[in-house]
Structures are given as structure tokens and as C-alpha cells.
Structure 1
Amino acid sequence: MNYRELFLVFLCAISTSFMVQAQEFSISGHVKSNEGEPVWLANVLLLSPKDTVLINGSSSDEKGGFKITHIPPGKYFLKASYLENESDYMIVDIDSTKDVGTITISNYAQMLDEVVVTTQKPRIERKVDRLVFNIGNTALSDSDVWEALKRAPGVVVINNQLSVNGNKDIGIMINGRKVNLPKSDVINLLSGTSASNVESIEVITNPPSKYSAEDGMLINIKMKKNLIAGYNGAIFNRYTQGVFPKHTIGTDHYFKGNKSGFSINYSFNKEKWYTQYTDITNYIEDGEITSTWNAHEDYIQHRNRHNFNAFFDYDFDDRNSLTLSTLNQWSPKVDRVFDTETKITYADGSDPSSFITTNDSGEDQINASFYLDFVHKLKKKGAELSLNTHYTYYDYERGQDLSTYFYDNNQNLTDQDDFFTNATQDINLFSAQIDFITPVGTFSNFESGLRFAGIHSGNEIDQSGFDRDQPGINATESASFDYDESIFAGYASIDNKWDKWKFKAGLRGEYTKTRANLDVLNSFNNDNYFKLFPSVSFQYTPNNTHDFHYHYYRRITRPRYNSLNPFQVFQSYNSVIEGNPDLLPSSRHYMAGGYTYKRAYTFELFYKNRVNNYQLLVFQDNDNQVLRFISSNVDRDIAYGFNVTVNKNFTNNWSFYFMASTSYMESNFTDLSSGQKVNEGLWNTYIRSNSGFSFLSDKSLKADISILYSSPVILGNSRQEDYFNMGIALRKTIWDKKASISLGLDDVFNEANLFNTRKYLDQNNTSYYRPESRLLVLGFRYRFGNTKIRSNKKSKRVDERNRI
């Protein structure tokens, strides 16, 4: 309770002592959290129903109990709050001393009649198997989801590579439904979706067994539910200026009836990006450098993109509900131009030479996903049966025209080469899952389910114009590659909560069948395997000061479909990107245990061991002087270390998150050319910091400052040097909070560049990546329609309906 509320309580107590009637009453009850736990030191306020002026108040004890005395007869509003969480308003009619039962702290903001009630949850909450990052009503609300995700706890994004605690196998979900898209397209989807629709981002460090074993960790983006009967909507506009401008416009629409809810989100992006690459390769023969190839590349991308998402909920009755949802992305025009100038110098003093390659390519891609979810609540309280189905269609086509001009040391044209490629990929994914959950006794829930997933990936390529006699060239002229995968899974898990303990454990089994066919060789590759995936989490909280947690899991990563394509596609004259149909699935173990003091300071130890991790590795072919970017398995990766986290609201206007992680990382891989085993390791430290500020008396001005630093790190067969990025975001609400304007600057010091080296055995090359990362972002959002609640309807079933 702040000083203003204390002062009001004091004044009210004095005034009511003079106006007390002959008969006064008291009310009592308990304050609990959404999880049913007692809330200690919660503020319980008695308010006037006419203007919500404070009449009286009290605080809850260690068991959540409270009592307010000396209350005159009449009708009142009763509300409980803890930190910045609040309960719904409760209408109480005081005509006798009474017990009002349980008041539950709710985690959302709403408007009651003409009275605006605003809340902001703690920015970060720790649960038994996840961290919850609440971004509603913060400076990040006017950004896109991808930018907000970069600020989530434990999340590190470098060069659009997403990782959590060093793990890059991250699954993305929206409202608990997996987004089945390639990683680059997931980024496109999230960067085209406004973060104003997001309630929170859950970083699930130990996913329950009901989820596929495919991803080691999950990020669940929880979209806001429209709690208000009627219609409301919004329009938004975001302009980004880097080297080139980027523009996004969009609109959101929500409708809620007695039994149904419907929402549509649409946005259009028009973007132009500029990136620079520098690759320096020292080709080696008999242990000596024979030539140095210095390639500088300017890359410009134009892209138009449409994002369309829709969600529909319908409650047949109190026990049956249906949800239909769709996520769609269409990029009808993606133009890519790579201009590369390569200068060659020879160690023997021969005259240098050079060549210039222009790679002009265009893309067209469609991603469409559809979900149907049905939930039936059984007669036993807390028991339910659910059915989830999903279908994704992905269509991709890319054509490129690669022209190379060769020059001598006097810049005289000596030769020319033209190369044409057209590649297509069609992916169809279908899955169906049935889940059953039931309470067991007083403190436990049992859950089990079955799942089937079927995937078909069809790939075709046509290439012409290349010189078949050029050393190192083995490009496929025309071929078709089909890949089919079927996964049969079942799981069982138990969730226990008793006294001061929370415990989750589960076991999942998955049987996988794969079949790959390359038509030009008439080759078939079949593989069948069955694996078990245990997981366990527990949390022990003896009191509000101390908290202990531990979790362990085993997971699998299956090769991505485009990584399996056995085609050699040229990026420039002497650099090729290659798939690998012989990629093996990767399995990994991860465990972590830690201690949290006063819900703010955490120390955690972790260990992970991964076998057959696959990455896009870079190898130099010294015989043919070609750089090969090839998907390959890394024999083993290990990492162990510790994390230190601070998550604290220093004041009502300043929330702070800090994480420092130090670990030893080691990569063990096989050199492509020699077949020798190579071990590379080092100690790495990365630091994440986020500060959220509120300004002005009504907290209508928000600010967010983020910092990310990483020391050198091992990635496959590469060493990536230091990385630093700092961002600032501001947001101001205007027009009675119906509109907001935002201003942001990402990579303030323009330091978000990547420098990679590969120096071992006969490999000696470096890559320097300089993206268009310092970006000025301007945003505007306006809400319209019904934005106020006209009744005090109970909303305790919101969480149950939040199943999309």
C-alpha cells in the first residue's frame, strides 16, 4: 500500500468515526493467487460504488486472511491487490457481519463502467517450468512481436539466431499452438505481428510431456483475449529507418458475444534491407598459404509481405467449446541482389586477379496454417478431454541469375560465366492429438495423450549455364527430391502441488519413420527409430524468502527439410550452399538447478550434452578453391556453467532484469576434407539487461532500455567474436489512452556485427557480417469501438477459454 492510500485510509477512519451509525459491521475473507496459494500482505480495499473513493482497508496475514471492521450498512466495492496485481471488483452488500470467502488476485486489466482500472503485472514471473515475461502496457507494446521477444528473459538473438540458455532448438507457439514454419519464416511472421496484441511471452525451459520432443525449449506467445462484450478494433502504423526505409501498417478487430469470440489481425510490410559481408579465405597446400581470396559482398533485399491471422472461439455450453484459428503469411515479391567482388592475391608473387559476381534472385512464398481445437469438460471437476488438429501448407519458389565477370590485374575482362537456377519446395504437414487430464486426489493432476504427425516435402531444382569442367563444380542440372516423415507419439505426466512443493514429471515416447527419394539416382533412404524422452521439474518454496528449483529433460531435433535437400546451389562463383540427405537426428540432455532469494535473486547451475547436432558449417575446399556452406552433423557439443539473475522492481516506476551466464562450451566435429576429429572449446559469458520505466503521474510514458553482450563463443566449427547491442524504446499513451505513439532506437552504438573465424588443420578463413542493425522506429496505434465493460460479469473462466 503506498503513502497516498495510507493517508486516505487514515482520513477515512477519522471521518467514519464521527459519522458511525448505531450499528456497524465487519467483513472477513482470504486472498489467494490464481494458483490457490495464500497471498501475504495483500492490500484489501473497501470502495464506494459510486466513485470508487476509498472507504476503509486492511492487509492480509501470512495465511491470506483479512478483516475490515467498523463498516456502516450499505453496498460497496471490495478489491484486493498485491504489488501491481489486482483482483476483480466484488460487490458486497453489508447488512451484517459476514465472511466474503476467497478473493482471487487476477492478472489482467479491465474497465468497470466508466471507472478505469489499470494494472501492470510484474514484468517477469518464475513458475515451476517457465519464466513469464509480461509486456502488456509497456514500452514494447507498439513494437512487433520479434522485437519484444528479443527482450524476453534468457532469450538471446544474434544474427536472427534465437537461443535460450545457449540452446538454439526453440519451438515457437502462439496461444499454446506450435507454429510449424521454417525458422526464417517464423521470424517473418513475428516481425509482421504487432506486440500490442500480446499479453505475455512464456519461456518454457522444461516443456511438459504433452508437447513434441522436437524442441528443447518452447516460447509461447500468449495473445490477449477480448474480455469486453461487443466490438473493438485498432489500426497501427510503424515506420523504420535504417540505411533504407521499412514500413508496416495493420489493423486488429475483436468481437465478443455471449458464447463466441472472434478476432482478425492483418498487416502489410514493405521493406528494403542492406547487409555487407566480407569473407577472407587463405587457401592452403602442403601447409603453406598459396593464395588469399578477399570477397566483399553487398546484399540488398526488397520484400512485400502480408500477414493475416484469425481466431474464433465458441462455447456450446459450460462443458464443450470449439476453437478455430489460422496463421497466414504471403510474400508475393521478394527480390534479392548479391553483388560480390573477389580479389585474389598469390603467395608466389604472381599477378593478382579478380572477379565480380552478381546474383539476382526472386522469391515467392506462401505459409498457411489451420488449427481446430475441441475441449469437452467431463463430469468430474477438473477433468477434460481435448482434441487438437493442425494443417500447414508451405510453398516456396526461388529463381536466380548468377553472372560472373573475370578480370586480370589491369582490370581487363578475360572471361564471363552465366548460371541460372530455379528451385521449388512444397511442404504439407498434418497433425492430430488427443489429450486427457483428470485430478488425482487433492493435490495432483494426471495427463496423457496420443499424437500423429505426417510430413511430406517435395523439392525440385533446375540449373543451367554452368561450366561442367570447372573444378569443384558438381551442381545438379535437374532433379526431384521427396522426403516423407511419420511420427507416432504417446505420453503420460503427473503434476503435483502440495504444501510448499510443486512437482512435474512425464515420459514421452516417439516412433519415427522416414523415407527419402532422389529421382536422378533412383536412391531410397529409409529410417525407423523409437526413442523415449523423460522430463522432470520440481520447485520447493518454504517461504516467501527462499525458493529452490530443478529440471531435467531429454529431447530430439530432426533435420529441417531444406537441410536434407541434396542440391548444390551457388551463392557466388566460388561459394556454394549444400544440403545433406544423410543428416542424423540430434539428441540432447539438459539439466539445471538453482536457488532464488526473495523472488528476485537467482543462482543456477546447468549442464547440457548434445550428440549429432547439425549446423550449417563452413569448409574451404583447398584443392578446388571453393567455400562450401554445408549442413553437417557435429559429433558432440557440451556446455556447463552457471547463471546469475536479478529480477526486481526497485520502485513502482522501475522494473529491472539482469542475467549473467558463464559457461564452458566445447564442440567436437569431423573435418570434412581430412576426416580428422577436431575439438574446440572456450569459456563464454553473456549478459542480458532490461530496465522498464514509467513516467508522469498517470504512468502514460513508458521506457525500456535493453543491453546484450556476448564474449567469444563456439558455433560448430567457427569461433564467433564479441557481440554487443543496446536498444531504447519509448511509448506515450494519448487521447484518454485510446492512442499511443512510440519511438525506438535499436543498436544505439552500431556495434551489432559478427566476426567469425575458422582456423584449424588446413582451414584458415574468416567471415565478417555487418547487418543494417541501427534502426530508428516510429509507431502509432489507435483503438476504437467498445473499450469499456458495462457490467461486473465474473471472468473466472477466462483461463479456461484461453485455449487457442
Structure 2
Amino acid sequence: MKQIKFAVLLVLLFTSFYNYAQQPPAGRNKVKVTGKVFEKVSKQPLEYATISIMAPNDTKVIAGGITNPKGEFEVAVAPGTYDIKIEFISFKSTEIKQKSIEDDTNLGVVNLSEDAAQLNEVVVRAEKSTVEIKLDKKVYNVGQDMIVKGGTVSDVLDNVPSVSVDTEGNVSLRGSDNIRILIDGRPSNAINVAEALRQLPADAIDKVEVITNPSARYDAEGGSGLINIILKKGKNQGFNGTFIASTGLPETYGLSANLNYKTEKLNYFTTGGYNYRTNEGGGKTNSEYFNEDGTTKSYLDEDRDTKRTRDGFNGRAGVEWTLTPTTFWTNAINYQKNTGEDVDVINYNNYDAARAFTGASSRLNNADTGSENVEFTSNLIKNFNDKGHKLTADLSISRNTDDSNSIITASPNFNTTLNDQVQKQVLLQADYVLPLGKGGQFEAGYKGSFGDLNNQYVITDDLNQPDPNLSNTLEYKENINALYTQYGFKVNKFSYLFGLRWEDTNIQVNLLDNNDFNTKKYNNLFPSAFISYEISDQSNFTASYSKRLSRPRGRFMNPATNYSSNINIFQGNPDLDPSLTDKYDIGFIKRWDKVTFNTSAYFEDTKDVFSFVRSPTGELVNGIPVILSKPINLGQEQKFGFEFTFNYTPFKWWKVNSNFNFYNVKTTGENSYVDVVTGETVVQNLDNQANSWFARINSKVTLPYKIDWQLTGMYNGEQKTAQGKNLGQLGINTAFSKDVLKDKATIAFNISDIFNSRIMKSYTYLENQTSYSEMQFRKRQFNLSFTYRFNKAKNERDKNAAPKNDGGGEGSGEFPG
């Protein structure tokens, strides 16, 4: 199997370079035909419009190309007289007859109009690929993916190339959770991002952008890159929308609506949804304890059964106002409210050295959870001309609460926990873009982010008194001011983008119960550089560098103890420092008629990397040592990897997307702690080097009777850690869908984790203990959904959108030229 994969890879690479070698050189007998293709009504650039150059009165194409994200094209052809045809699906084509081309010729702006006669064909022909590969990012179109129907944003992200979501909802990119998640170009303001993503319905998402090496216009936060989640914003004229109802097993049901009403000046849009979800999971930890001479002392088997229910409402309403033909103002309010119950049952079975049963105990953690998030956003765009000269301003104000109250019963002990969090966030941002000359562009901007988090955490004992060793009140304040500038330009086939970002950070971490005040102030410069070489209209080579930063947040900083298990506990570290990463990336992309192939090699060098370490606390529970897991600034981490993304459409009825990522991680560092029993300092050497890999393949087939079938498989390879190893993990999902009611509605049925195999399995090796653990956050699920559309084609593109950035305040991220 490995030989077959390697052979296929060689064939793809050979074909790519062979096609490049076969292209005629651009000599003195070649001239350039350039221009732009826009949509006539909205004046938006049309990406992937096709340009065909033919001999007069002949249908054979002599030369051709496609437009870039800015609607621009460039085609090389010998001097002569030609017919030129510009086309885009569902639009009327434009032909220029008998055009004499003797020198470099600019056709100017070609405006295409919607072809009403083709609207019925749009459903079949205009469907975008689920995954679009671009030079500096990958774009995942959620509406084309049946697997996520009736699911959540976590389900969406788990189907995105290069991205994976573990069983606890934590998101990673290229095997690293050192990332930044944006929503409409702005950082997520949720206190618990993983939980917030599990509550937001997939139906509210338009697309997801994965940017592995962001430029200076983006926040420096996120050592391994950015994930930008773009919410739906209706753009079609008149009143239209979509309703979706879903149900599933374990007990899950929901109802959501996406509506918009657009006039010449105003566009009202709203998204609302109610959902009830049940996640059943479980796990186990089997531990073996040793005497000082290395012989077995005892065994402990810890079995866990979990059930989490969530009852939530998500709402979003806004209006986009066209103040003038060049000025657009959008205001929106986002509201999210969730309540739930977590039931966690742990059974402990004790055995002696001979594996003879010695006793049992149990622990019940019954928790009520709740969260409420409110956010107001405002975006103003002023276009000074139609060439990209513009100014944008953004404002975001949010307030988020997250509460959890639990009763822990473990005979003879009885505890209660209270965890109340309130976070307030204000974000200000301004961006200015000025095109300079042919293919040049200057950008500059400011961003201010001001946050305040108050977290009260209380654990009471049997007498209902707070435990001073486990309870605390955390006050976390974070103020960040940033300035950036960057300049991009194009010289022949080379495009360049150089930028510099400055961020000033002021953080206060205060433990109010014991008057422990800690202030961290630092400022950093973050340079970035990108170079792109256009080998041909269908292939490009890129190289990039950026410096990134990761600030410790959330549970990493909070010293509150996770008390769901009284022998395996977790505690945050308020003294963590940020880590800095130097990122290098080289990439190659090649497009054929039916194939798009993208490969990249990347290297990341991180200082003061965060790492979780496990060490004994010296305490015993029923003779079992308590193990503490805690994040520290370990030392240095170097990561080198290769990634391949492959889109293939062998037939109109079959599409295949695949992604493969292999990487090597080398970590150097040590951790020291004081042995409570002996009083001696113990030094843990945590140097580690490991290889791992990740693969995903997605197949979508149109069966007879127009039934669509989608099958997705993913595998996370085994990886060695400093204190053990994580085993491989396989997951397979499938879905079927059928259009009904004259294509106005769709019925979809999907199964998540068909074989119930998405289980995190790991080994941990400590000095006096070894453990084997399994954890499954969500077991196999079945889901049935019904989608109804009115006044809206199934895959209709946004035809009347205002010429603004899709992703909000962070910019488009495209190369200049």
C-alpha cells in the first residue's frame, strides 16, 4: 500500500513538471492579453472566469486562462487576429470578434450579466468543490458537505483539510493546537471556545478558510496559523431563505432558519436556531503502581461513563446599509444561550500485586452548566474607487458568561463545585488599502483588543466550607494594541508581499483570594514575507515566512483544579509566558481540468512552547497517589512536515478530496518539582522526538435517482510523547441526500463515526506508575435533516453582494497582482 501511494505521488509530481516543461517559452514573438472580469450589477470580480482565444471563425482554442481572485487574467499569444470569448457559469458570455493583437493588449474591464435562461442549470453546473485550494489558503464550502447537515461547527472543522478535532472538541491545525480561531475575521469571544463551537449549528456557516502562514494584516496570535469561520449573510434580491429541521440518535433535534430581505439600499439578514443535543461517551484509565525496587505494588482500573446534554438557542440579526454606491455599513447582534447537564460516573476497582481484587469505590459528578454570549459588531467600508482603494473600520463589543455548578459524591466524601466566569471584550480595528501602480498595493492598520475576565471557583468540603487549597478567584485582564503595514507588488511573474506588525501586550493575572498579583508586559515585532512565482496560468510556486506568537489563555492560566477525578487532576498555571514561533513554508499548486494538486513543506521553530507535564502531588486517596497534570513553558519545539492536498473530479458524478500531512516534532526541555515525601527536587527530562501523520479522504458520488452519497475517512497516526505515546485513531462518516419538492428541499441522513472507533488512546510512563487511557467524548451518532429553500436556488452564488471582504476585519489574505 505504501508503494502504491508513493507511486501515485511520483506520477502527480512528474505530470506537473512535465506540463510545465511543455509550455512554449515566452519569447519575443509572444504578446500579453490582460484584463479584468467583473459582475455587471455588483461590480464584484469573478474568480475562475475562463478566457478563450481562438482563430477567427474557429472553435479550437489556441490559448486561454482563468481569472484570479481579483478577476484579473493574463494570457500569452503570438501576434495576430483572434476571436476572444469570456465565460462564467450562469452568466452570459462575451465575445470579441476579429480582435487585432500586435502588441501587449489590455482589454480593460469586461462586465458579465446574469443569464436568466441558465438559472435552472445552476443547480447542476454551478456547484463549487467542497474544498477550494488557493495560493495562501484552503477554503471549505460548508453548503456542499452532507456529512455536517444537522451538526455543529466542530463537525464542520473536523472535515476541513489540515484540521482535526479531538474527542474533547479541541481544534488542531497540522497536528498543533497552537492556533487562532476567527469568526468573520474577528477572534472568537467565547470563554470556552471548544464548547462554543460545539453549540453553534453548522447551518449558520457559509465557509471556512484555513490560513497556515498569515501575513502581517492578521493578529500575530496563533503559532501554527488561523482558521476563519465565515457566517452566512444572505445577498439575494427580495425575500428568501432556508429552513432546516433535524433529529438524531442519541437524542438530538433542532430547528434553524437563515433569512434575508434585500432592497436596493438595505439588506436585512438573520439566522436563528434551537437545538437539543445529547453526547454519550466514556473512557477508562488502567494504572499499574510500582515499589521503589521496580516490582509491582498494585493496580487500579478507573472506568468512566459520561452523558452531556445541551439545550441551546443561537440568534444573529443584522442589516447592511448601502449609504452611497461606494460606502457600506453593516451592524449585527449575535446572541447565544445554552444550558446543559453533565453526568460523569467513575468506578474504581483496586487490585493487589497478584491482580486479586481488593476493593471498589465510585464517584458521581453531576453538573449543571450554562452560558450566555452577547456581541454587537459594526463594520464600515468606504471604497474610494473600483481599483481596491478603500478604508474599513470595525467595532465589536461582547459580554460572555459561563457557569458550572456540580455535586461530587464519592463515599464517604461529598463535595460541591462552583465555577462562574464573566468576560467582557472590546475590539477596535481600522484598515487602509491603497493600490500603487500596476500590481502594487500598500496596506496599514490598527487594532485594539481589551478584555476582562473574572472567574470565581469554589470547592466545598463535607461541612460545606470552601477548601482554601482548591478554591480561588481569578481576575485576568488583557490589553493589546497593534499596528501593521505591508506592501505588495508584482514584477513579471513574481509577486511579493512584505509586512511588519507591532503588538504591545499588557496582561494582569491576579489571584484575589490570596493577594497574588502578577503583571506581564511585552511588545514584539512580527515581520512577514511572501513570494509567489506564476509558472503558468495553472501552476504557482510560493515561499513565505512569518513570526507568530501564542499567549496562554483560558484553562492554561486558571489555577482552578479540575476535580472530576480525585486521583488524576488538572490545574492551570497563571505564571505561563507566551511562546514565539518562526514559520517557514514553501508550496506548489497545479491545476488541470479535473485535478487540483497542492503540496507544501513547512518548518516551525517555537521558543517557550507550552507542554502538559504529569507529576505526583504526594497526596494519597485510598492509598492511590494523586497525579497532577499542569501546563509549563517547556523549552524549544521544532516541527518539520510535508502536506499534500488533492482534488479530483474523474466524472461529473464523482468528486474526491484528499489531504495528507506528515511531520516530525522535536522537543527539548525539562521540568522540576519537589517530592513532598522526601523534600528532594526531582528533575524530569522531557526531551522527545517523534513522527506522526494525518490523512483524510472524502468521496462524493451521485447515485441513480439523483441520490448523493458522501463517504469520509480520517486517520491520526501514532505519536510518541515525552511521557508516553498517543495511539492511532480511525474515524469514518457517511451521508446520503436526495432533493425533493422540485429541488426546493433536501433530505439528508448521516452517520458520524460508523464503527464507533474515534477513541483517544494513550500510554503514560511515570517513575512509579504506568497508565493506559481511553477517552471517547462522543459515541456513534445518527442524524436526519430536512432542508427547505424558498426564492433561492440550491447552490446559488451571491450575485448582488456588496464589494467587501467576506471575512470581515482581517482582510482577504490574497497576494497582490
State TM-score, norm by structure 1: 0.82
Q: Give secondary structure in 2 for the equivalent of 1:726.
A: strand
* Structure 2 residue aligned with 1:177: 186
* Structure 1 residue aligned with 2:326: 319
Q: Give secondary structure in 2 for the equivalent of 1:363.
A: strand
> What amino acid sits opposite 1:755 in the alignment?
K
* Structure 1 residue aligned with 2:245: 237
* Structure 1 residue aligned with 2:222: 215
Please say if 1:591 is aligned against 2:594.
Answer: no
Q: Give secondary structure in 2 for the equivalent of 1:571.
A: coil
Whole-Å Cα distance in 1 between the matches of residues 53 and 119 of structure 2?
23
Q: How does 1:281-292 map to 2 (within 5 A)?
A: 281-288=287-294, 289-292=296-299
* Structure 2 residue aligned with 1:22: none
Kept after mapping to 2: 8 A contact 1:666/1:681: yes
Per the alignment, do residues 796 and 335 of structure 1 end up closer, same or farther by CA in structure 2, a change over 3 Å counting? Answer: closer
Whole-Å Cα distance in 2 between the matches of residues 338 and 687 of structure 1?
32
* Structure 1 residue aligned with 2:660: 660
Deviations 1:364-383 (A, max 9, x none): 11122221111122369422
Per the alignment, do residues 796 and 364 of structure 1 end up closer, same or farther by CA in structure 2, a change over 3 Å counting? Answer: closer
Q: Mean Cα displacement is larger for which, 624-633 or 776-785?
A: 624-633
Per the alignment, do residues 141 and 627 of structure 1 end up closer, same or farther by CA in structure 2, a change over 3 Å counting? Answer: closer
Q: How does 1:198-597 map to 2 (within 5 A)?
A: 198=206, 200-216=207-223, 217-241=225-249, 244-288=250-294, 289-331=296-338, 333-347=339-353, 352-378=358-384, 381-405=387-411, 416-465=412-461, 476=469, 478-544=471-537, 546-597=539-590
* Structure 1 residue aligned with 2:6: none
Deviations 1:228-280 (A, max 9, x none): 21111221112222xx2211211121111111111111111112221111112
Q: How does 1:131-150 map to 2 (within 5 A)?
A: 131-140=138-147, 142-144=149-151, 145-150=153-158
Q: Give secondary structure in 2 for the equivalent of 1:517.
A: strand
Cα distance, 1:39 vs. partner?
Answer: 6.5
Cα distance, 1:356 vs. partner?
Answer: 0.9
> What amino acid sits opposite 1:238 in the alignment?
S
Kept after mapping to 2: 8 A contact 1:110/1:116: no
Per the alignment, do residues 398 and 622 of structure 1 end up closer, same or farther by CA in structure 2, a change over 3 Å counting? Answer: same
Whole-Å Cα distance in 2 between the matches of residues 164 and 764 of structure 1?
30
Kept after mapping to 1: 8 A contact 2:85/2:95: no
Per the alignment, do residues 801 and 458 of structure 1 end up closer, same or farther by CA in structure 2, a change over 3 Å counting? Answer: closer
Deviations 1:516-549 (A, max 9, x none): 2222221211111111112222221221454212
* Structure 2 residue aligned with 1:412: none
* Structure 1 residue aligned with 2:815: none
Deviations 1:627-658 (A, max 9, x none): 32323333232221322332222222222222
Per the alignment, do residues 142 and 768 of structure 1 end up closer, same or farther by CA in structure 2, a change over 3 Å counting? Answer: closer
What is the aligned residue count?
734
Please say if 1:163 is aligned against 2:143.
Answer: no
Cα distance, 1:156 vs. partner?
Answer: 2.0
Larger Rg: 1
Deviations 1:71-94 (A, max 9, x none): 9xxxxxx9854xxx6263368999
Per the alignment, do residues 345 and 787 of structure 1 end up closer, same or farther by CA in structure 2, a change over 3 Å counting? Answer: closer
Whole-Å Cα distance in 2 between the matches of residues 749 and 105 of structure 1?
51
Per the alignment, do residues 104 and 742 of structure 1 end up closer, same or farther by CA in structure 2, a change over 3 Å counting? Answer: farther
* Structure 2 residue aligned with 1:676: 684
Whole-Å Cα distance in 1 between the matches of residues 802 and 722 of structure 2?
48
Please say if 1:749 is aligned against 2:730.
Answer: no
* Structure 1 residue aligned with 2:4: none
Kept after mapping to 2: 8 A contact 1:567/1:578: yes
Deviations 1:193-232 (A, max 9, x none): 416x51x322112223122111232222334443321111
* Structure 2 residue aligned with 1:636: 636
Q: Give secondary structure in 1 for the equivalent of 2:536.
A: coil
* Structure 2 residue aligned with 1:649: 649
Whole-Å Cα distance in 1 between the matches of residues 303 and 320 of structure 2?
53
Kept after mapping to 2: 8 A contact 1:110/1:117: no
Per the alignment, do residues 789 and 714 of structure 1 end up closer, same or farther by CA in structure 2, a change over 3 Å counting? Answer: closer
Q: Mean Cα displacement is larger for which, 156-165 or 314-323?
A: 156-165
Q: Give secondary structure in 2 for the equivalent of 1:215.
A: coil
Please say if 1:88 is aligned against 2:91.
Answer: yes
The answer for unaligned runs of 5 or more in structure 2 is 1-32, 39-43, 65-73, 674-681, 810-817
Kept after mapping to 2: 8 A contact 1:566/1:578: yes
Whole-Å Cα distance in 2 between the matches of residues 705 and 125 of structure 1?
18
Whole-Å Cα distance in 2 between the matches of residues 800 and 568 of structure 1?
42
Cα distance, 1:138 vs. partner?
Answer: 4.7
Q: 2:63 aligns with which of 61, 64, 68?
A: 61
Whole-Å Cα distance in 1 between the matches of residues 172 and 626 of structure 2?
30
> What amino acid sits opposite 2:425 in the alignment?
L
Q: Mean Cα displacement is larger for which, 511-520 or 614-623?
A: 614-623
Please say if 1:692 is aligned against 2:694.
Answer: no
Kept after mapping to 2: 8 A contact 1:155/1:165: yes
Kept after mapping to 2: 8 A contact 1:377/1:384: yes
* Structure 2 residue aligned with 1:52: none
Whole-Å Cα distance in 2 between the matches of residues 498 and 101 of structure 1?
20
> What amino acid sits opposite 2:642 in the alignment?
F
Whole-Å Cα distance in 2 between the matches of residues 547 and 91 of structure 1?
28
Whole-Å Cα distance in 2 between the matches of residues 780 and 285 of structure 1?
60
Please say if 1:708 is aligned against 2:714.
Answer: yes
Deviations 1:465-491 (A, max 9, x none): 25999xxx9754653221111111111
Deviations 1:732-779 (A, max 9, x none): 222222100111122222211111111144452221113433222211
Amino-acid identity (%): 20
RMSD: 3.9
Per the alignment, do residues 303 and 56 of structure 1 end up closer, same or farther by CA in structure 2, a change over 3 Å counting? Answer: farther
Whole-Å Cα distance in 2 between the matches of residues 38 and 686 of structure 1?
30
* Structure 1 residue aligned with 2:122: 117
Whole-Å Cα distance in 1 between the matches of residues 794 and 365 of structure 2?
55
Whole-Å Cα distance in 2 between the matches of residues 746 and 643 of structure 1?
26
Q: Mean Cα displacement is larger for which, 603-612 or 96-105?
A: 96-105
Q: Mean Cα displacement is larger for which, 559-568 or 333-342?
A: 559-568
Per the alignment, do residues 608 and 381 of structure 1 end up closer, same or farther by CA in structure 2, a change over 3 Å counting? Answer: closer
Per the alignment, do residues 463 and 186 of structure 1 end up closer, same or farther by CA in structure 2, a change over 3 Å counting? Answer: closer
Kept after mapping to 1: 8 A contact 2:279/2:779: no
Kept after mapping to 1: 8 A contact 2:288/2:771: yes
The answer for unaligned runs of 5 or more in structure 1 is 1-27, 45-54, 72-77, 406-415
Per the alignment, do residues 668 and 236 of structure 1 end up closer, same or farther by CA in structure 2, a change over 3 Å counting? Answer: same
Cα distance, 1:326 vs. partner?
Answer: 2.9
Q: How does 1:9-48 map to 2 (within 5 A)?
A: 42=52
* Higher RCO (CA 8 Å, separation ≥ 6 residues): 2
Kept after mapping to 2: 8 A contact 1:619/1:672: no
Q: Mean Cα displacement is larger for which, 440-449 or 212-221?
A: 212-221
Kept after mapping to 1: 8 A contact 2:236/2:798: no
Whole-Å Cα distance in 1 between the matches of residues 50 and 581 of structure 2?
41
Q: Give secondary structure in 1 for the equivalent of 2:644.
A: strand
Q: Give secondary structure in 2 for the equivalent of 1:611.
A: strand
Whole-Å Cα distance in 2 between the matches of residues 478 and 594 of structure 1?
50
> What amino acid sits opposite 1:667 in the alignment?
T
Kept after mapping to 1: 8 A contact 2:155/2:202: no
Per the alignment, do residues 112 and 267 of structure 1 end up closer, same or farther by CA in structure 2, a change over 3 Å counting? Answer: farther
Kept after mapping to 2: 8 A contact 1:431/1:451: yes
Kept after mapping to 2: 8 A contact 1:481/1:565: yes
Q: Mean Cα displacement is larger for which, 256-265 or 275-284?
A: 275-284
Whole-Å Cα distance in 2 between the matches of residues 612 and 580 of structure 1?
14
Q: Give secondary structure in 2 for the equivalent of 1:371.
A: strand
Per the alignment, do residues 577 and 372 of structure 1 end up closer, same or farther by CA in structure 2, a change over 3 Å counting? Answer: same
